[in-house]
Structure 1
Amino acid sequence: MKEENLQEKRSKILRKTSYIAVFLGLLAFLIFSILAAITFGNADLSLKDVYSVIAYKLFHIKRLSEYAEGAIHDVVWLIRLPRVLLALGVGMALSVCGVVMQAIVQNPLADPYVLGISSGASLGATLAIMLGVGGFLGGNSVGVTAFVGALVTSFAVIFIANMGGKATSAKLILAGMAVSAVCLAFSNFVIYITNDKSAATEVMKWSMGSLAGASWNRVAVMLPITLIATGLFWTQYRNLNLMLLGDEVSITLGTDLHRLRTSYLILASVMIGFAVYCAGVIGFVGLVIPHVVRILFGTDHRKLLPLSALLGASFLIWCDVACRIVLKNSEMPIGVLVSIIGAPCFIYLLIRKSYGFGGGK
């Protein structure tokens, strides 16, 4: 009996140690990714120039005052660094929301857009581009209307799922599918009646996702929201674990998941709405990253959430780097590249006979 207890304690210590090691490793890799990613781009800049600009802006070192302004300063500080940090925020948001959505609807195929958020965002962007809705917002009209469309769609799904009784995971999925189909139909209808090929092309480009519009203003919105929401979800890991067991089990344990599910959906929708506003629609990140982490560390959201956040952020940073360098003097839409990478990975996960929801045998 004592030997079994001793082995169990050793096993717990080993699992905890391995988790801490992986967490610190992913955190270090994320920091390395940020520092490395800003050195890539069409402009040929030396490592000295890149890091001198950042060192001056952060620490105001007098001997580096030559980097206080100019072309090199603008490329590094106003273009590359905001873009990398925006990729960090968006990648983290998509991964965390993927974890949360999969727990809420108890479906391993759920992604951040399961509530029809992407379709609602696309409808908003289509109205802005094709019909000029929100034109008074200037250059932010497309992003803001997409954000509004994403939020309105998610709230509509929550409202429909709660009609005729409390929302369940099945009702949320069905409501999301229905609202998504309606939004797509309206988007296609607007494109058809407008018959503007150049505007239709712009809608298509927006739907492919891009971080080219990165700025410090967008980073100042996206990054704090992502970090705060991720921290809040991390504190709710017990309830998220409970959601995997279903409503009946949770009620027997004295917890009503209905209110929690609704509040989590609203918070996740806000995160995805801002991600859509900043970068358009980027698929597969919130679908594949949580599965990869589950295979290695199981379903416990105390581990799953932080590891998915770090891995998702690093993944999107390097995808954005690839988008900038794959095509010479051009840029590949990040949504296209992520799908090219993510789809085969997801197919591989599906055909693994030993893999089930949560990595169970």
Structure 2
Amino acid sequence: MVGREANRSWIGRFYLPVLLLLLFFIAVSTVYSVSIGQVHIPFRQSMNILLHVLTGGRLGSLNGIEESYFNIIYQIRMPRVIFALLIGMGLSLCGAVMQATVQNPLADPYIIGISSGASLGATVAILIGFGSGTLFANFGIAFGAFAGAAVTSVAVLLLSSIGGKATSVKLILSGVVVGAFCSSFSNLVIYFANNAEGVQQVAFWSMGSLAQSSWEKIPILSVVVLIGCVLFLFQHRVLNAMLLGDESAVTLGINLSVFRKLYMILAALITGTMVAYAGTIGFVGLIVPHICRGLFGADHKRLIPATLLVGSLFLIWADILSRILIHNVDLPIGIITSVIGSPLFIYMIVKKGYNFGG
């Protein structure tokens, strides 16, 4: 049975205390994240500034705190840590949903070609000057990336539906084909582009970065990610049925073909929005659901909340490392997540401490 006690580690038996502990670690990590940088701000002062901003001045005194410290945290570092929280949640959520939807432990949010489509859209936006035009100065690249992700997702769903219902195998194969086409076309655009600065910008964007985070971008990102999280928190029964397969789901009265398409569309929308704002950040959606599944079992009623919290904590610390590993250098966060995620995933494969789905 999905999620039975035997599939949980000893940590999973203390589910609620562990979730509370994760929330505590996220809070502490958030304060530490806004404290560090080229200008170091004392931990206590950072905590007072955050409390003051988050509670509308009811908590956290600003007495004795330099105005420059407040501006640095509020204008630069707070949007960045909020981005890390939201994107960590979103990528981890989409990874868990995709792994259940296509019944493949190697699935991640980019499996249906979303990242390739978004990269194509961003590449076109950057190299033809779309991102720097007067009309689209603030959101040209993001719009191009989201449009590319949306078109790619629709193409994959249509292709996988040809000749009958969309199965998990057809979705994966369609994603691989469409993703390869988009990657090839992106390379073609780069090859013929006479824009060295634009090519460098494309390369940096494809590695993923939170450096472009701002308060203006947070409303759309937060609405898309948080609504997606709330919706999938109540879909644990269907997600569990997907792990059992189509034949077993039919006996439970669940039409997986319909839910599979719906979940793909929702995951594509969430992932496309995140990629549009932060580029491609790999391994979060792949490794975090695996870690949580090993700790808490395969039951999505327990897996989804844990995945959201662990994903947020993981990306906050990946962002911290991207800023402190090399002095005065802001590394692309996608490099950090890959360096951390690769050995972790290899360890989990070698250890074989749990079975996917049960």
Structure 1 residues 77 and 248: CA distance shift in structure 2, 3 A: same
- Who is 1:64 aligned against? 62
- Who is 1:204 aligned against? 203
Q: Distance in 2 between matches of 1:214 and 1:117?
A: 21
Q: Distance in 1 between matches of 2:32 and 2:222?
A: 19
Q: Distance in 1 between matches of 2:219 and 2:24?
A: 23
Give TM-score scaled by structure 1 length.
0.91
Question: Which deviations, in whole Å up to 9, do the C-alpha atoms of 1:61-99 show, x marking residues without a partner?
Answer: 6973786x9422221101111110110000000000000
Q: Distance in 1 between matches of 2:151 and 2:39?
A: 40
Structure 1 residues 50 and 192: CA distance shift in structure 2, 3 A: same
Cα drift, residue 278 of structure 1: 1.8
Q: Distance in 2 between matches of 1:42 and 1:221?
A: 29
Cα drift, residue 29 of structure 1: 1.6
Structure 1 residues 299 and 249: CA distance shift in structure 2, 3 A: same
2:143 counterpart of 1:118: no
Question: Which deviations, in whole Å up to 9, do the C-alpha atoms of 1:39-59 show, x marking residues without a partner?
Answer: 111112223442343344333
Cα drift, residue 267 of structure 1: 0.9
1:105 to 96, 102, 112: 102
The aligned length equals 349
Q: Kindly report the root-mean-square deviation, in angstroms, between the aligned alpha carbons of the 2 structures.
A: 2.3
Q: Distance in 2 between matches of 1:168 and 1:78?
A: 46
Gaps of 5+ in 2: none
- Who is 2:254 aligned against? 255
Structure 1 residues 15 and 350: CA distance shift in structure 2, 3 A: closer
Using the TM superposition, name which of 142-151 and 247-256 deviates more.
Answer: 247-256
Residues 31 and 43 in structure 2, CA contact (< 8 A), matched pair in contact too:
no
Identity of aligned residues (%): 46
**What code does the residue aligned with 1:74 have?**
N
Residues 49 and 61 in structure 2, CA contact (< 8 A), matched pair in contact too:
no
Larger Cα Rg: Structure 1 or Structure 2?
A: 1
- Who is 2:73 aligned against? 76
Residues 96 and 304 in structure 2, CA contact (< 8 A), matched pair in contact too:
yes
Using the TM superposition, name which of 255-264 and 58-67 deviates more.
Answer: 58-67
Gaps of 5+ in 1: 1-7
- Who is 1:5 aligned against? none
Secondary structure, counterpart of 1:166 in structure 2: coil
1:41 to 37, 47, 66: 37
- Who is 1:144 aligned against? 143
Cα drift, residue 350 of structure 1: 1.5
- Who is 2:26 aligned against? 30
Question: Which deviations, in whole Å up to 9, do the C-alpha atoms of 1:274-319 show, x marking residues without a partner?
Answer: 1112211000000000001111122100011110110000000011
1:329-344 residue pairs with structure 2 within 5 A? 329-344=328-343
Question: Which deviations, in whole Å up to 9, do the C-alpha atoms of 1:4-37 show, x marking residues without a partner?
Answer: xxxx99xx9x998611122222122222222222
- Who is 1:313 aligned against? 312
**What code does the residue aligned with 2:305 have?**
P
Residues 56 and 65 in structure 1, CA contact (< 8 A), matched pair in contact too:
no
Give TM-score scaled by structure 2 length.
0.91
Residues 42 and 325 in structure 1, CA contact (< 8 A), matched pair in contact too:
no
